[in-house]
């Protein structure tokens, strides 16, 4: 696959905010170590057909498009824009509460896709492994045990599972995550968060995904993933 294909829409870490850049700086060396360990254990695929490359690009594209929609909704809430937007859209039945839930729905989609496409993107580059996304954790643990131990804490699986399984609710203007379908009160302080904290956790998973794209692009461009 041509290196230009991998460069499309790869985030530049220089454009990130301060908190996002700190998170990026934590995970980038871990992801580089992970790719190196997979390469050493001969678990990295280095040759792809054009059709395989195209399928990957199209699979990733949906997150880009939903991300644009997510960012557009964020900007609506800024300053005077919010009241102006509500004034113009009220005739279509859009209320403040509905707009907030539109944002939350979009944000949940971004988080789940960021987490799952991180797994898809990494598995796509591997060989001689189980390609089931649902078995990602055990696959990586077996294929790259050293770097997996360092990476695992950064995959916010409890957050992703609650959002994907619907075991969450908006209570007193906070997002509350539940462990399972019994919907018992959360015991973990991280399971109850303000909207700002909710947005940060979503952004971190997206940064993790974008950082993987960047690391792969850099390694392919430099020839380190070539046979």
Sequential DSSP letters for 145-199: HHHHHHHGGGS-HHHHHHHHHT-EEEETTEEEE-SSTT-PPP-SGGGEE-HHHHH
pTM metric for this prediction: 0.86
d(CA 122, CA 126) in angstroms, rounded, equals 7
Picking from 31, 1, 51, 39, the residue whose alpha carbon sits closest to that of residue 128 is: 39
d(CA 205, CA 135) in angstroms, rounded, equals 19
Give domain limits for the chain.
3-219
- pLDDT tens-digit map of 116-127: 999 999 999 999
Sequential DSSP letters for 111-134: HHHHHHHHHHHHHHTB-SS---GG
Which residues make Cβ contacts (< 8 Å) with residue 12, sequence separation at least 6? none
The mean pLDDT of the chain is: 87
The percent of residues in the chain predicted with pLDDT above 70, rounded, is 91
| Helix, strand, coil fractions of the chain, as percent rounded to 5 | 70, 5, 25
Picking from 94, 108, 150, 124, the residue whose alpha carbon sits closest to that of residue 6 is: 124
Range scoring the smallest mean pLDDT among 14-23, 35-44, 198-207: 14-23
Q: Please, are residues 14 and 210 in contact by the beta-carbon 8 Å criterion?
A: no
- pLDDT tens-digit map of 82-113: 888 888 888 888 888 888 888 889 999 999 99
d(CA 147, CA 96) in angstroms, rounded, equals 45
């Amino acid at each position: 696959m041509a290196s230009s294909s991998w460069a499309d829409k790869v985030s530049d870490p220089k454009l990130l905010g301060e908190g996002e850049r700190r998170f990026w700086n934590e995970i980038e060396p871990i992801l580089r170590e992970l790719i190196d360990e997979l390469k050493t254990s001969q678990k990295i695929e280095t040759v792809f057909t054009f059709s395989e490359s195209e399928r990957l690009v199209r699979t990733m594209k949906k997150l880009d498009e939903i991300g644009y929609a997510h960012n557009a909704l964020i900007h609506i809430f800024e300053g005077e824009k919010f009241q102006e937007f509500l004034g113009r859209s009220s005739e279509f039945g859009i209320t403040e509460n509905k707009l907030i839930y539109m944002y939350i729905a979009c944000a949940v989609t971004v988080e789940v896709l960021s987490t799952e496409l991180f797994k898809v993107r990494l598995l796509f580059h591997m060989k001689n492994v189980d390609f089931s996304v649902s078995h990602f954790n055990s696959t990586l643990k077996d294929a790259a045990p050293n770097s997996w131990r360092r990476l695992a804490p950064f995959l916010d699986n409890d957050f992703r599972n609650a959002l994907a399984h619907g075991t969450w609710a908006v209570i007193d203007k906070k997002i509350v995550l539940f462990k399972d379908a019994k919907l018992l009160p959360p015991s973990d302080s991280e399971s109850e968060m303000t909207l700002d904290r909710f947005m940060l956790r979503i952004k971190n998973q997206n940064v993790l995904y974008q950082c993987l794209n960047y690391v792969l692009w850099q390694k392919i461009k430099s020839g380190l993933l070539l046979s």
